[in-house]
A and B are shown apart, each in its own frame.
Chain A
């Protein structure tokens, strides 16, 4: 029997502007990790990705992504979602996410879709999501205690990986499709 091989992508939505109703300044931590509007449904995400893949890779690309793409988890309160895609084509999806610059809803806000973890099992992705959430919680507590700076917020966001230098190196030589490395990619 042939086993279906998948990849799970943990994606964060990062905002850089203030929400429309907000006045005054907010801490950087809150600014980057804003909640997403409720209109963003799994279907709309899929639609957005497909159209982007179609634009980038044409019919062939969208056709190969079409069948296996699925949203396993979507939390709009924390702007996090987990995608599942067949192992052969996860790069197309990743590339599409990189090129998407606003939410795929009507009058979507500008944002970044950041793939923070690729894994062969959903379990590891979940663990990574938990780890990041914990880091954010710690940062938020620091913020509340009033001893935070803007660099701390960025740290919580971008230095989520333990040693980013190693991870960056991994990302660089990831192109040879070495399966073993894929599990360790974070902070892409």
Chain B
């Protein structure tokens, strides 16, 4: 080979340079790795590859003599042989071409499959491709490194390696000794079986996180892993190791691109699921009356739920979901969303008949509260405080690491759950009802807040999960009957999940090894029979509807003992959906995305009126500030030099924050988010300091919440409920107004174009100037685009009308408006040179020259093909966007935000109409152009 000759010529120089692809000369055979040596002595890859391809494409053929007999005559047998040879040659050629293609094996595995280091490690590709991968790696001279055999580079690694070596020796010695000992006293060997320790659950105090395996101890010092952590860590971006979220390592988003697939899986086809074991659960137990008092103190004061309509909820066959709140001085402050579920009492049938009797009130009952971890500590403290006030006392148990949960949404979610959860006892009513749900494609089609509590078999017994036959059951009248009747009330028993003994029993599932052994003993494909060793797993499943209502998909929530989550998880992951594919993994971002697409607020990000929301917002501010700081100076937004038109300079408030402090004139904490270029926002209105900070805020800070010592002034902002606000607006009482520092959550849809980002500013439509303040008419005629007029520092008087022109229904009006504006005169096309000259001269001589320099800011003439109205002034700022993007569901920009309740109230009252009052202008932070939008309460 010419290659070898070249090598010989280059001689020792090549060996000295030690290029990886050059073969080592005999002098450099210090390597012990024979495999490596063998690989390196092969010729370089590229010429070899070319030879390979040439060889593969070459089709063998025979000389003509093969078809003739010995004397050169035609012969039938030879003729036959020649044809057979040709057939064989062509077939081998086709085969060779197929195998010698230019792609490597790891490029052929499906998109969903992980391929980390698959190009360097044959074990990363599927088994059937492994041999080919090995061969290709050998042919391509791919460097392979076995982590085990790599020479340690850092000091730390070296120490670890030495340690490992020593430990290995020690272990070997120990093993040897154990073997000797075993041989000595084999007959008299006794083993002591101890009962597995039951986890401690103390009353009225927080629960300890579960003890992790010692191997993983160090990684869970300041956080807890979800039961599925090891699975997730390989497939999703987790929270940063040093910055856990709510003391959990939570998957943020799958590693694979998933924005559009998530949208599809959540609404059209498939299913998306989350391990929501981080959601916190608490159990309250005591007499029914005392529990009722505690719940009422949490803000469950609606008469309906304690009356006849809430009977099913109190019986334990429905859940209640909503915001819980706590008393703070004279007002109530929202804590966060919670789901509350009663445990059915064993004697429920008698109690149901004589409801509201003293008998019922005295019975011992239990309630499960499931809430978000960001507000759990706050809620738990409140619960303990309330529980201690009751006589007889009510007790609270923290079930955070006892009960885990999985959430599923999407058309395939019911099907998936049906395949995975197989009722343990066939006679259980709830189990029967659940099994009859085949054909349901939307959990929201179940009765509102329906609950099913039953026990299921270990899903590993029927692993891999079989596809549920949904075709025969669709439009089944029996299913419709079930959905309308919902026959779960009769013979309802207490849910096993409330019982710690049942939970503990279920936590001791047989090990995977024994399952495998049992499976091996079976005929392939046969399910493993349930034995006494397989405990029933108590589960509670409930369906929830999205807050937005309508056609949107509901969500299944499956609650099970913490330790049973993993086996259930594996079965869900591998369920083959009837519409194809498997359920999709979701992270926290996907949860927020789905909430956003459904137009609902997501906790805690969109709830600035709660402490958890404030903490989230502060965290976001620091993150944005960090990202902003990282950018080079020329490429980041200089907030101070933002030109809003009409002589206004600088961003309103902090551009990196939903700056409600600025809106409400609250004292600004020197947080890291306050940008240096934003001087105007920092020197707050001096009067703002006089506004006495709420005593509740002080009280809250005194209480010393363990997760946040001092809450920023933003925490004095209150969240107002939709119902309260609507009642205020519709009431004729002029005196009643929303409290001064309250916000309401809104869902914003852009009227024509525009996409909002987080922190975008929301303005109301500017009011028409009253008669006394009307600007002189001469100025009023000056169009908005004229910077000379705008530069004097006043907004045009007809700004409201300009914005209203932008409504698509009033297109006709906008045309007449456009004609007044000074668009740059365009040279008509296809004119000859003479005319061009004439036109040019005319434009120069006319008394209406183009402004120079061209207006750069705010409303450039080319936005939207005509003049764009200026942004309203700061007095019209009403709120901020907390989440915004282009919505795939709506096909246009939407956003979720919060606006000042007071200003919204005023706007609705003043403009007189809901139509105009709900119009707003949304402008992204750092941009000068706003877009018309419409807000709706959420």
Question: Residues of A with Cβ closer than 8 Å to B?
Answer: 19, 21-22, 26-27, 29-31, 33-38, 72-78, 80, 123, 126-127, 129-130, 133-134, 136-137, 140-141, 143-144
- Nearest B residue to A72 via CB reads B59
How far, in whole Å, are A21 and B97 apart by their CA atoms in the complex? 40
Contact (A123, B61) CB under 8 Å given A21-B72, A30-B76, A77-B67: no
B88 to A: closest C-beta gap in Å:
9
Contact (A134, B87) CB under 8 Å given A72-B59, A75-B62, A78-B67: yes
Task: Name the one of A19, A22, A31, A80 contacting B86, with C-beta atoms under 8 angstroms.
Answer: A80
Task: Name the one of B73, B74, B86, B97 contacting A77, with C-beta atoms under 8 angstroms.
Answer: B86
Max count, chain A CB within 10 A of own CB: residue among B80, B82, B87, B90: B90
Q: Does B483 contact A (CB under 8 A)?
A: no
A101 to B: closest C-beta gap in Å:
20
How far, in whole Å, are A140 and B84 apart by their CA atoms in the complex? 11
A-B CB pair tally, cutoff 8 Å: 94
Interface pair A75/B61, CB less than 8 Å apart: yes
Contacts of A21 in B (CB 8 A): 71-73
A136 to B: closest C-beta gap in Å:
5
Closest 6 CB pairs of A and B: A75-B61, A35-B64, A35-B67, A77-B62, A77-B82, A77-B67
Interface pair A130/B63, CB less than 8 Å apart: no
Interface pair B63/A38, CB less than 8 Å apart: yes
Task: Name the one of A30, A72, A123 contacting B79, with C-beta atoms under 8 angstroms.
Answer: A30
Q: Does B68 contact A (CB under 8 A)?
A: yes
Interface pair A33/B59, CB less than 8 Å apart: no
Q: Does B66 contact A (CB under 8 A)?
A: yes
Task: Name the one of A22, A74, A78, A126 contacting B73, with C-beta atoms under 8 angstroms.
Answer: A22
- Nearest A residue to B67 via CB reads A35
Interface pair A133/B64, CB less than 8 Å apart: no
In chain B between 44 and 62, which residues have their CB closer than 8 angstroms to a CB of chain A?
Answer: 57, 59, 61-62
Interface pair A35/B82, CB less than 8 Å apart: yes
How far, in whole Å, are A111 and B790 apart by their CA atoms in the complex? 92
Interface pair A143/B76, CB less than 8 Å apart: yes
B651 to A: closest C-beta gap in Å:
46
How far, in whole Å, are A133 and B71 apart by their CA atoms in the complex? 24
Contacts of B71 in A (CB 8 A): 21
Max count, chain A CB within 10 A of own CB: residue among B59, B64, B68: B64
Max count, chain A CB within 10 A of own CB: residue among B59, B91, B94: B59
- Nearest B residue to A31 via CB reads B74
Interface residues on B, range: 20 to 34
Contacts of A78 in B (CB 8 A): 62, 67, 82-83, 86
Interface pair A35/B68, CB less than 8 Å apart: yes
- Nearest A residue to B57 via CB reads A72
Contacts of B65 in A (CB 8 A): 35, 38, 77
- Nearest A residue to B97 via CB reads A123
Task: Name the one of A123, A137, A143 contacting B83, with C-beta atoms under 8 angstroms.
Answer: A137
A133 to B: closest C-beta gap in Å:
5
A166 to B: closest C-beta gap in Å:
25
Contacts of B83 in A (CB 8 A): 78, 133-134, 136-137, 140
How far, in whole Å, are A34 and B94 apart by their CA atoms in the complex? 26
Known: A27-B76, A75-B62, A129-B90. 6 other contacts (CB 8 A): A29-B79, A30-B75, A35-B64, A126-B93, A127-B94, A137-B84
- Nearest A residue to B72 via CB reads A21
How far, in whole Å, are A126 and B67 apart by their CA atoms in the complex? 20
Q: Does B85 contact A (CB under 8 A)?
A: yes
Contact (A74, B61) CB under 8 Å given A126-B94, A129-B90: yes
Contacts of B76 in A (CB 8 A): 27, 29-30, 140, 143-144
In chain B between 83 and 120, which residues have their CB closer than 8 angstroms to a CB of chain A?
Answer: 83-87, 89-91, 93-94, 97
A131 to B: closest C-beta gap in Å:
9
Contacts of A29 in B (CB 8 A): 76, 79
Interface pair A76/B64, CB less than 8 Å apart: yes
B45 to A: closest C-beta gap in Å:
24
Interface pair B74/A75, CB less than 8 Å apart: no
Interface pair B74/A19, CB less than 8 Å apart: yes
Contacts of B61 in A (CB 8 A): 73-77
Interface pair B80/A141, CB less than 8 Å apart: yes
Interface pair B93/A77, CB less than 8 Å apart: no
How far, in whole Å, are A133 and B88 apart by their CA atoms in the complex? 10
Contact (A30, B87) CB under 8 Å given A38-B63, A77-B82: no
7 A-B pairs (CB sep. < 8 Å): A34-B67, A75-B89, A80-B86, A129-B90, A130-B90, A133-B86, A140-B83
Max count, chain B CB within 10 A of own CB: residue among A36, A129, A133, A143: A133
How far, in whole Å, are A143 and B73 apart by their CA atoms in the complex? 17
How far, in whole Å, are A27 and B67 apart by their CA atoms in the complex? 15
How far, in whole Å, are A132 and B508 apart by their CA atoms in the complex? 68
Interface pair A26/B74, CB less than 8 Å apart: yes
How far, in whole Å, are A144 and B75 apart by their CA atoms in the complex? 11
- Nearest B residue to A24 via CB reads B73
Contacts of B86 in A (CB 8 A): 75, 77-78, 80, 129-130, 133
Contacts of A76 in B (CB 8 A): 61-64
Contacts of A38 in B (CB 8 A): 63-65
B67 to A: closest C-beta gap in Å:
4
